[in-house]
């Protein structure tokens, strides 16, 4: 056997032996301790707590007005209540409403005139803030309700890229003008 053949045989055997050996697990370059997530959760708890304290002071500043607490984490009061109707908007209905947006100090951010009448397909669109999506479903026709939304129910961390800043709680006064089933709108 020539030196060349012996070299080839040894090379092949070496490759076979190396490929059959058990692979070693590689260690990660860095180890995560989870502190970032813990710190982020703590920051969010403090943020929510501070916002809720401001909202609580607004509620306590006028003891003659009855505010209700929603199961979704915001507060609301009826400015104009409709006790005659029993129906509320449900998924698929088309709601027509007007609203105004203020900061917690009462400064108008968007007036009702600026926002013009809104048309919203209940639970089929996400073009309005989360709090309004839930709040509209609590209303009857011709009711006006003022909502106090913590930032996570409004525009959250991002804001609206215009006048609403990040982590900004809001006051929204909404009038539900009308709502109809979606199929009724399509046939007209």
Residues 141-171: tens digit of each pLDDT: 999 999 999 999 999 999 999 999 999 999 9
What's the CA angle centered on 71, arms 85 and 165, to 5 degrees? 100
Q: How confident is the model at residue 5 (pLDDT cuts 50, 70, 90)?
A: confident
Whole-number Å distance between alpha carbons of 167 and 146: 20
Distance (Å, whole) CA 164 – CA 156: 10
- The 3-state DSSP class for residue 118 equals strand
pLDDT tens, position by position, 29-44: 665 667 888 888 899 9
Query: Within the chain, where are the H helices?
Result: 3-20, 35-61, 112-115, 130-135, 182-187
| pTM for this entry | 0.79
Rg over alpha carbons for the chain, rounded to the nearest Å, is: 30
Task: Average the pLDDT over 10-17 and give the result.
Answer: 69
């Amino acid at each position: 056997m020539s030196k060349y053949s012996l070299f080839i045989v040894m090379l092949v055997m070496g490759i076979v032996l190396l490929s059959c050996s058990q692979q070693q697990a590689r260690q990660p370059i860095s180890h995560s301790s989870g502190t970032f997530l813990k710190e982020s959760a703590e920051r969010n708890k403090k943020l929510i707590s501070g916002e809720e304290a401001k909202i609580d002071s607004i509620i306590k500043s006028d003891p003659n007005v009855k505010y209700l607490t929603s199961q979704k984490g915001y507060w609301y009061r009826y400015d104009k209540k409709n006790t005659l109707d029993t129906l509320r908007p449900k998924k698929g209905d088309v709601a027509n409403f007007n609203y105004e947006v203020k900061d917690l100090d009462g400064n108008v951010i968007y007036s009702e005139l600026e926002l013009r009448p809104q048309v919203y397909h209940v639970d089929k669109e996400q073009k309005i803030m989360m709090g309004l999506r839930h709040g509209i479903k609590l209303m009857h026709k011709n009711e006006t309700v003022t909502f106090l939304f913590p930032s996570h129910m409004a525009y959250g961390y991002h804001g609206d890229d215009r006048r609403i800043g990040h982590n900004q709680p809001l006051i929204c006064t909404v009038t539900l003008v009308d709502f109809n089933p979606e199929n009724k709108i399509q046939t007209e």
